Structures are given as structure tokens and as C-alpha cells.
Amino acid sequence: MSPPNLELLIKNKAQEMGFDTVGITSPDNLDDTATDLTEYIEAGHHGTMTWMQERQTQRATPKGLWPEARSVIMLGLNYGPNVDPRLLLDMPDHGNISVYARGKDYHDIIKKRLKKLARWLISEMPCDLKVFVDTAPVMEKPLAAAAGLGWQGKHTNMVSNEYGSWLFLGAIYTTLELPSNPQHEYQCGSCTACLQACPTSAFIAPHKIDARRCISYLTIELKEPVPLEFRKALGNRIYGCDDCLSACPWNKFAEVSKEAQLHARLELQAPLLSDLVQLDDKYFREVFSGSPIKRIGRNRFVRNVLYAIGNSGDKNFLPLIQPLINDENDVVRDAAEWAKIELS
């Protein structure tokens, strides 16, 4: 049995370690999540993200991944930006990078804190536990909603009264029996601002998204050339998209992140496409060392930059495109040829 004040101690310690919000839920509090996941995969809405299907049983419920789990501690870290990221969409000679990827890789920051919190918890109350941040088959958003951190908005992402749509999530599965917090009240009402903001109409309905149409999927997960029907809609978005998040009215209550490591690096606030398109593999790795952008590699990134250049309407980019017509990578060559045609 855990001491009656352990829940409060965990929350205080989590905030002391830099987390902005924390809640606890039972691994059995996911309602229809397993059914929703099955429908999502059967409809093919996961696209080429085959890992979702391969580990579907583990993802559907915490006990599917770890049968010994008795409680789930969900933690949130605010990454609120200091300006509306959509302002950059009106600067076609610059690349627009999703807010979450403009600073240091959040995986590293959160994982380090989760492990520190886990070590403290074991010292206070011997138990088994596992920590997760985004890369394991864990339904972070439904679990965060069940733990009271906020609610899943119509854009399928978390929304918080205090932090709007800007929350990174981490999870600790533990064998401790901890009291569950009440689930947060759903507060989207009749608002559909996030759905209307999507440049590619990726939302089939409220709370349902087809990843194959989502700009974040197209620019990050998709390894092949982006389908022609979506290339113009990309605009100057070269890594991810924040449009549905930015449109949420709850952001008027959001705060700028107090975590300096998550603040945008100066060179990634409004990077010039003319600089980015010339990156080879060596310099790409140097520029994006410690950044989540590094994982997609130079070829996919330059592909995205070329689409943005093709959408810029600026013929001055043509000399920079020409060398990439003969690039070693076929995806880069395809994007360069498309951009050249668009600007010619």
C-alpha cells in the first residue's frame, strides 16, 4: 500500500523537476480508445506508419504493453511560443518549422526528467515502473485526458485551460496503486476553428484525422515524394504544421514556455530557404544536431525545402534548384524538377 500523501508528493516533485502539469489515472480508464484505434488503422488513416499496426495491441491499453501496470502518471511540459507561428506563412522566402522542433529535442529533455522522477519515486516507495515519451506504443493523449491534464480537442491533440494546445506529454507506468484524478471536462463546445484551419482538409470529422492528408505526416513521416495534390498546400511549411493548434481559441490563455531549451533557436525562427536548400548531409547533421528535425535526414528535409521554393513564386531561386536536378537522391531530384517547373 502506498502512503496516503504519495499522490501529492509525486505532483510536487514533478513540478519541482520542471513539469508544468501532472495527473494520475488507471490503465483501465481509456474507454473506447482501443475501438477507435482499430477503426483508424482499418481505414488506412495511419498511412505508411506501419509501426502503429504492428504494435496495435500494445498501444491500445497500458496493460497491453505492460500487464503489471496499476497506475499511469501523466506529465505535461508547456512549449508555448512567444508569437503566433502562422505569421511566418506570409514570408515565402523563409521556411516555417513547427514550433515544437525549433528548439532542443523535447524527447531528450522529457526523458531525462522522467528518469529523475522515477528514481525519486523508487527511493520513496519501492516499485517497478517504466517511462515513456512519444516513441513507445503509448496512447499519451487519451491517457493525459483521463488523468485530467486537459481534453482531446477536435484536432485530436490535447487542449488545456492553462496552456492551450502547447503541451508535450510524458508517461510513467507503475505497479503502485495510486488514486485516479477526475477526467477533465470537455470544453470545445461548438467551435470548429481547428478543423477549418487545416490547409489540406485532413479532418474527416471532429476528432478524426486522416494522417495521409496531414502536413505534419507529409513532411515528416512520408519518405516518398509528397503527392502532387498537396504540394501547393504545403506553402512554406518545411517541417510539420501548427495551423490547427494555433487556431485554438484556448491559446489566448496560454503562456510562453518557461523552459529555455524549448525556445526557438535563432537560426530556426525564420530560416532562409536559400540557405537550407544548399545543405548536404554533413552540414544538415551539424545544423540540426540535438534537434528532432535530424531524424528525417537531409534528403527528406531538402525535399520539403524545394516544395517551399516551388511555392514561393521567386525565380531568383532557379540557380539554387539547378544543381539538385541531378542530386543522388531520387526524391530530391523529383522535388527539384517540380520546383523548377513551378518557377519557370
Pairing of strands 208-209, 203-205: antiparallel
Question: Which residue is it, cell 495534390?
Answer: 229
Report yes or no: 171 and 72 within 8 Å, Cβ to Cβ.
yes
pLDDT value, residue 31: 80
- CA nearest neighbour of 201 among 212, 190, 185: 212
Residue 134 annotated to the active site: yes
pTM of the model: 0.95
- Reading the block at residue 282, the C-alpha cell is 554533413
Q: What are the extents of the domains in the chain? A: 6-81+102-174, 193-343
Residue of 134, 275, 314, 334 marked active site: 134
Long-range contacts of range 210-215, CB-CB < 8 Å, 24 or more positions apart?
210/43, 210/45, 211/45, 211/46, 211/47, 211/49, 212/44, 212/45, 212/47, 214/241, 215/240, 215/241, 215/243
pLDDT string in tens for the chain (344-residue length): 566 689 999 999 999 999 999 999 999 998 889 999 999 999 999 999 999 999 999 999 999 999 999 999 999 999 999 999 999 999 999 999 999 999 999 999 999 999 999 999 999 999 999 999 988 999 999 999 999 999 999 999 999 999 999 999 999 999 999 999 999 999 999 999 999 999 999 999 999 999 999 999 999 999 999 999 999 999 999 999 999 999 999 999 999 999 999 999 999 999 999 999 999 999 999 999 999 999 999 999 999 999 999 999 999 999 999 999 999 999 999 999 999 999 99
